[in-house]
């Protein structure tokens, strides 16, 4: 396991900008602010809203109830200048038409299920096959394309937006009505905390995650290959050509997958390696060290020029590190920016891909009467010493 000392780049130093105070104040007092406004309409004519939450340190987060998408995260760099550090679109139309899950809540099952099927209690369930012969990220219309109910909540930890969605029995082939609740909290510690909860009325599988693409230099900057990444994982789950895990838990030691000490993402991405070839770069699940179920630091990323640092904490056993390999410049996002190869990276905290077909992996089974819950925290800071 990587030494924890190696994980600390520098002490946190976020400057107070107070820009968030420009947002309309609601019932919440102090420099924190929350504002709800109309975001637009889906192509089906459903109205969707946008919440803007700001904290006292100048961190601002926008969330829409279309897909529960994190539309923007503005955070200061080491000299106090703010930038939006997630890829996305300016308007709802972009997210509907052309989005590889930018910022979205992914479900009912994040990541792939081989051949789009699994067997549970003797019954085989056939799911939508939307990634070659496999099922990916909940199917053709997953949680990322649903319109969620959304409300604000005052929380002791900070401002919170709560999203609720009922995924109906049979949706995309999954059994059982699933009631999902996802709460985004912006804390005064500059964290975006995501609490996922779900219940079901029939046995089913659940694996929820968030698919934000980060570029800590700013969404409109070039690629993320210079970002220094640490992942606290001794092993990863190698895949076949279709990106389905083989079932092996392979040590990262001596491979380009070893991020136990901070290493630039681009340092080894072009090495001759079968796993990198299958993923066209990094597109792999890491077996996180530490105890799943307890919230622990699992990853850290530093962008050297801006000094922005992202830390990821989670209760999950795995994280998909995706280096934005399939972005090819054809998607024009915010401000008409063409997002080219590796314009952003994702750290999708999760259970392992294809767990419903892999009895040796931690289970994703949810039965009636059981409560699904997981927590992930994205914490923002800079490397400027205080």
- Residues forming contacts to ligand BGC in the complex (CB under 6 A) are 100-101, 243, 283, 320, 322, 326, 348
- Indicate the residue among 77 and 144 with the shorter CB distance to ligand BGC: 144
284 is catalytic: no
348 is catalytic: yes
CB atoms within 10 A of CB 155: 16
CB atoms within 10 A of CB 150: 22
Question: 148 and 39 in contact (C-beta within 8 Å)?
Answer: no
Q: Please state the closest distance from residue 283 (CB atom) to ligand BGC, in A.
A: 5
Q: Please state the closest distance from residue 324 (CB atom) to ligand BGC, in A.
A: 8
Q: For 345, what's the count of Cα atoms within 13 Å in the CB-facing half-sphere?
A: 31
Among 100, 166, 163, 160, smallest CA distance to 136 is for 100
- Indicate the residue among 215 and 320 with the shorter CB distance to ligand BGC: 320
Among 70, 66, 68, smallest CA distance to 96 is for 66
Block residue for tokens 């830390």: 311
Q: Please state the closest distance from residue 254 (CB atom) to ligand BGC, in A.
A: 24
Of the residues 125, 135, 211, 227, which is catalytic? 211
CA dist., res. 130 & res. 108, Å (int) = 14
Q: Please state the closest distance from residue 296 (CB atom) to ligand BGC, in A.
A: 22
- Indicate the residue among 20 and 127 with the shorter CB distance to ligand BGC: 127
CA distances from 288 to 1, 136, 211, 274, 372 (A): 10, 22, 18, 22, 19
- Indicate the residue among 326 and 373 with the shorter CB distance to ligand BGC: 326
E strands of 2-115, at which residues? 33-41, 47-54, 60-64, 70-76, 82-84, 105-106, 112-113
Q: Please state the closest distance from residue 40 (CB atom) to ligand BGC, in A.
A: 23
- Indicate the residue among 306 and 364 with the shorter CB distance to ligand BGC: 364
DSSP code of 364?
Answer: -
Positions annotated as catalytic residues are: 211, 348
């Amino acid at each position: 396991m990587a030494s924890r000392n190696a994980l600390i780049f520098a002490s946190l130093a976020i400057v107070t900008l107070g820009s968030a105070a420009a947002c309309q104040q609601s019932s919440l007092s102090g420099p924190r602010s929350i504002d709800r406004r109309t975001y637009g309409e889906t192509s089906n004519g459903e109205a969707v809203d946008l919440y803007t939450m700001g904290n006292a340190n100048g961190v601002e987060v926008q969330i829409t109830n279309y897909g529960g998408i994190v539309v923007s995260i503005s955070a200061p760099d080491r000299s106090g200048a703010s930038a939006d550090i997630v890829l996305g679109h300016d308007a709802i139309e972009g997210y509907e038409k052309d989005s590889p899950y930018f910022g979205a809540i992914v479900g009912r099952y994040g990541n792939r299920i081989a051949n789009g099927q699994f067997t549970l209690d003797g019954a085989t369930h056939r799911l939508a096959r939307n990634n070659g012969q496999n099922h990916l990220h909940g199917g053709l219309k997953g949680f990322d394309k649903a319109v969620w109910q959304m409300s604000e909540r005052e929380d002791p930890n900070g401002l919170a937006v709560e999203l609720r969605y009922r995924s109906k029995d049979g949706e995309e082939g999954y059994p059982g009505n699933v009631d999902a609740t996802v709460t985004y909290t912006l804390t005064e510690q500059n964290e975006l905390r995501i609490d996922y909860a779900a219940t079901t009325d029939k046995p089913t599988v659940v694996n929820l995650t968030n698919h934000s693409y980060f570029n800590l230099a700013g969404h409109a900057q070039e690629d993320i290959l210079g970002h220094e990444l640490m992942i606290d994982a001794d092993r990863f789950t190698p895949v076949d050509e279709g990106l389905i895990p083989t079932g092996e838990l392979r040590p990262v030691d001596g491979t380009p997958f070893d991020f136990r000490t901070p290493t630039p993402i681009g340092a080894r991405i072009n090495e001759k390696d079968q796993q990198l070839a299958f993923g066209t770069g990094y597109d792999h699940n890491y077996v996180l060290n530490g105890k799943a179920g307890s919230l622990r630091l699992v990853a850290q990323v530093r962008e050297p020029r801006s000094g922005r640092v992202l830390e990821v904490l989670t209760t999950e056993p795995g994280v998909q590190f995706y280096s934005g390999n399939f972005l090819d410049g054809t998607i024009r996002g915010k401000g008409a920016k063409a997002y080219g190869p590796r314009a952003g990276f994702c750290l999708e905290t999760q259970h392992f891909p294809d767990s419903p077909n892999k009895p040796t992996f931690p289970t994703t089974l949810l039965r009636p009467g059981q409560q699904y819950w997981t927590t992930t925290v994205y914490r923002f800071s800079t490397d400027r010493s205080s």
